[in-house]
Amino acid sequence: MAKRITKPVKPSLPGPDDIYRVTLSNGIAVLARSSFDSPSISMGGYLPAGAIFETNEKLGLADFVSSSLMRGTQTRTFDAIYNELESVGASMGFDSGVHNVSFGGRALVEDIPLMLTLLSESLQSPIFPSDEVEKLRAQLLTGLAIRAQDTSDVAAMAFDRMLFNDHPYGRPSDGFVETIQSITRKDMEEFHRLHFGPRGMVIVIVGAIEPEKAVEEVERVLGGWQVPGQVDAPALPPHKPVKKTVRHHHTLPGKSQSDLVIGMIGPGRKDPEYLPASLGNSVLGQFGMMGRIGDVVREKSGLAYYASSGLNAGTGPGSWEVSAGVNPRNLKKAIGLIENELRKFIKSGVTKEELADSQANYIGRLPLSLESNNGVASAMINIERYELGLDYYQRYEGLVRAVTRADVLETARKYIDPDRLVIATAGP
Amino acid sequence: MTNKITQVTLKNGMKVMLKEIHTAPIISSWVWYRVGSKDEPTGKTGISHWTEHMQFKGTKKFPANILDKAISREGGRWNASTSHDSTRYFETMPADKIDLALRLEADRMKNSNYHEKEVASERTVIISEREGHENEPMFRLTEVVQNTAFHVHPYHHEIIGDMADLHTITRDDLYKHYRTYYVPNNAVLAMAGDFETRSMLKRVKELFEGIPKGATPPRLARPEPEQKGEVRLSVEGPGETTFIQVAYRFPNATHPDYFPLQVLDSLLGGVSGLSYKTSRLYRALVDKEYAVDVSGWSEATVDPYLYRITITNHPKRKPEEAIAALDAEIQNIQNDLVSDDEIKRSVKQARAVFAYSSENITNQAFWMGYTEMFSSYEWFTTYLDKLAMVTPQDVQRVARKYFQPKSRVIGTYIPNGTEA
């Protein structure tokens, strides 16, 4: 190694000394942290109004509602809301998942009051104008038609359905054509009335503003929000484990490439196995050029442009998935290679060197993931959502280093069973 | 954000650009080569992109499997990409680990392995990459529009290359391409982050200045002749959704009309990185339900290229209706002067996007090298000022000059249903 020619500045990891956290009287948790390197701010957060409240008949309702929040409020039209935002180069949007509706935005620092006002109005007083709802419905239906032709989306949906069966995690949160067609304005108003409220809401602000000032701004627009009838989310039902390997191929004529997803249940984000599984997954399908999977499927066999594995860990049970895009005639061969790697992985786990490499990668890349306001805001949302503790990123290095080869192997054996896989493919 | 940088040309002709930023212990380093798909003759299309892939196959000193692990082990992020005009490689690393990236880039500027076996395995990887693109209706449409817009100029083909050439390009073709264009006098090193300029420059010289200068790389000089009338085409494929792409001819990035056109682009289609729901085309096409989405896209290029408007047609409308609505909106902007306020708004949007972008050190290093490929860093530092100088008359003039039916290509993707 050549001599060191830099004297690095000290990394600034968010922690209890610089994250300001306040719970407003109505239950909203506000977290703020300053960074004056750029004259901008990032905002993000969530509230528990996700697809878990939906029936099968109205699948996609939470998504439809969250997409409609900025389509008109009691005080502003759709065009007026976006005109205010876009005129100052700010952006804001909503998204939905099984548990939460999430939101995010960016603005120059002088435009924080405007953005928070629009956030507050969108959350508290959307009016779901029927012409806008119908325009949006046509857009959502076109999105579903495009989804139906996307080999990776189709394979991923089939995978979730087989892995989770009737569980809420097995359903697509953007719904189906017939469910989107059946949703009425009244459904949307009622969903909003019952499930949108301050309890369980989290908002994070990062950027060129003093944290106390950021909290004041949130208090000003959202501190008075009260929803006495806000309904609590139902508990997640248990999911039925897969008894033996299941396969499904969805035929999409006219396509030149097939997508595959192979996997199983993985740990949730709060499970103690999360970090060992994550580091193990790094060796399996992430580290360097997509780990062992990338090495075997892409580098050695030249079968795919992309082939990697990922851990999808959230509130409930997660999934552990290997995915790749391959020429249709190589589908079987690629699946065989991946199954082989999974068997090897649970037989002998990871080597000392492989684990050390991934640990070094996790620790070394942390400052990179925290350099932008958006990166810090995501990290703070993780802290709050998964109760990791305000000092999580300061303890992170120690947590990563504490994982042993035995931890990884034990976790891999707990979750991966090559005779009980879910294999979903889509293509010609 | 400061724009102060140090620029030095080494004895072998390699340009070095250094910008100190001490906000985080991170350095981003980019090597840019002036070679892209515009340097590829028929029969060798896609060779620049494939060469980029081969540059990850290692050198004697840094064998392939060691290379990516070494970067990842230090927590670094690295990648590469190929455009019409350039090929770029970057590493963003913890500041005290950047030396590894510099040694690697210096080594692979001249010592990369091009083993026959690796070429064979990468051939199928790239064919697979192209097959993945071909799954997308938008790729199929975009490719044909581009092929049609350029008959003579090598912007004719997609960067990934034509499938025929991906089957026939040889190891020797790739190696020759590498040796011809990967010379220091055809390269720019741009670094931003937490370093001290004097000592970094010294280290860069130690590593790069000994690499011998090469012959000046050849260029294909085949300007596209003027288009003499509108061309309409269609592509068919699976699906239910109709897409339309309208391509107008735009000047290169150093042309005086480029900045008024940037303002016009932001008025029509919005600013990249922001929502665009109050842009003129969104209001005219999506709000009025001719389309479910519309976007505009231009690229800063060395030679004149295209401005593309992409429309996702409304399922209840015919493509001709959306095109008529587009034409009406373009006529509005040609006939009526836009207001000063609209231009001010466009400048404020650009200022915000610049501020967001400056939060990220990788982006800051990117912009230095990127602008050097077609102009200079000054293009970037004066961008907002130049936008602010644009007048309503400028916008009207360029709208009339560049948005003419006779010099456009309109492509339509016609879905043939979900079942074959």
Question: What is the pTM (predicted TM-score) of this model?
Answer: 0.93
Contact A124, A98 (CB under 8 A): no
Mean pLDDT of A314-318: 94
| Test the B interface: residue of A305, A323, A329 with most B CBs within 10 Å | A305
B231-415 matches B6-208 in CATH topology: yes
- Main-chain phi, psi angles of B32, to 5 degrees: -115, 135
Q: How far apart are CA B235 and CA B254, in angstroms?
A: 34
What is the per-residue pLDDT for B358?
A: 86
What is the per-residue pLDDT for A151?
A: 97
Bridge partners of B20, per DSSP, are B193
Q: How far apart are CA A219 and CA A124, in angstroms?
A: 14
Q: How far apart are CA A364 and CA B117, in angstroms?
A: 33
Q: Where are the domains of chain B?
A: 6-208, 231-415
* Residue A305 parent element (H or E): strand A304-312
For chain B, how many helices (H) and strands (E)?
Answer: 16, 11
Contact A60, A114 (CB under 8 A): no
Name chain A contacts of B26, Cβ cutoff 8 Å. Answer: 367-368, 371
Quote the distance between the C-alpha of residue A106 and its chain's center: 18
Angstroms from A45 CA to nearest CA on chain B: 19
- Asked if A2's CB is within 8 angstroms of B203's CB, the reply is yes
- Strand, coil or helix: B212: coil
- Main-chain phi, psi angles of A184, to 5 degrees: -105, 165
Query: Nearest by CB to A302, which of B121, B137, B195?
Result: B121
Domain B6-208 has CATH 3.30.830.10: yes
Query: Nearest by CB to B131, which of A1, A10, A257?
Result: A257
Q: Look at strands A258-266 and B291-298 and give their pairing.
A: unpaired
> pLDDT exceeding 70 applies to what percent of chain A?
98
- Asked if B56's CB is within 8 angstroms of A86's CB, the reply is no
Tell me which residues of chain B, numbers 252 to 311, contact chain A at a CB-CB cutoff of 8 Å.
Answer: 270-271, 273-279, 283, 286-287, 289, 292-293
* Residue A399 parent element (H or E): helix A392-402
- Asked if A2's CB is within 8 angstroms of B352's CB, the reply is no
Name chain A contacts of B200, Cβ cutoff 8 Å. Answer: 5-6
CA dihedral B43, B48, B52, B55 (to 10 degrees): 70
Q: How far apart are CA B349 and CA B355, in angstroms?
A: 10
CATH class of B231-415: alpha beta
Query: Nearest by CB to B96, which of A8, A91, A306?
Result: A8
Structural domains of chain A, ranges and CATH numbers in brackets: 20-222 (3.30.830.10), 246-427 (3.30.830.10)
Amino acid making up residue B29: S
**A with B: how many residue pairs have Cβ under 8 Å apart?**
234
Side-chain-side CA neighbours of A376 within 13 Å: the count stands at 28
What is the per-residue pLDDT for B68?
A: 82
| Test the B interface: residue of A1, A137, A296, A372 with most B CBs within 10 Å | A372
Q: How far apart are CA B90 and CA B76, in angstroms?
A: 10
Q: Look at strands B26-33 and B77-82 and give their pairing.
A: unpaired
What is the per-residue pLDDT for A11?
A: 67
> pLDDT exceeding 90 applies to what percent of chain A?
93
What is the per-residue pLDDT for A4?
A: 45
Residues in chain B with pLDDT values less than 70: 1-2, 418-420
| Test the A interface: residue of B92, B271, B277 with most A CBs within 10 Å | B277
Contact B307, B298 (CB under 8 A): yes
What is the per-residue pLDDT for B67?
A: 77
Q: How far apart are CA A327 and CA B139, in angstroms?
A: 17
- Going by C-alpha positions, the residue among B309, B280, B277 that lies closest to residue B296 is B309
Angstroms from A364 CA to nearest CA on chain B: 4
Q: How far apart are CA A104 and CA B147, in angstroms?
A: 39
Q: How far apart are CA B314 and CA B282, in angstroms?
A: 13
- Asked if A138's CB is within 8 angstroms of B314's CB, the reply is yes
What is the per-residue pLDDT for A1?
A: 37
ipTM: 0.91
Contact B244, B322 (CB under 8 A): yes
- Asked if B356's CB is within 8 angstroms of A9's CB, the reply is no
- Going by C-alpha positions, the residue among B208, B237, B81, B65 that lies closest to residue A256 is B237
pLDDT, one tens digit per residue, over A25-76 is 999 999 999 999 899 999 999 999 999 999 999 999 999 999 999 999 999 9
- Asked if A256's CB is within 8 angstroms of B194's CB, the reply is no
Query: Nearest by CB to A357, which of B69, B100, B131?
Result: B69
- Report residue A2's pLDDT band, with 50, 70 and 90 as the boundaries: very low
pLDDT, one tens digit per residue, over A224-269 is 999 999 999 999 998 888 999 999 999 999 999 999 999 999 999 9
Provide the residue count of chain B: 420
Which residues contact residue A368 at a Cβ distance below 8 angstroms, ignoring those fewer than 6 apart? B26, B75, B77, B92, B94
Amino acid making up residue B206: E
Mean pLDDT of A79-93: 96
Q: How far apart are CA B313 and CA B322, in angstroms?
A: 7
pLDDT, one tens digit per residue, over A356-415 is 999 999 999 999 999 899 999 999 999 999 999 999 999 999 999 999 999 999 999 999
Q: How far apart are CA B53 and CA A369, in angstroms?
A: 26
Query: Nearest by CB to B238, which of A7, A11, A252?
Result: A252
What is the per-residue pLDDT for B346?
A: 94
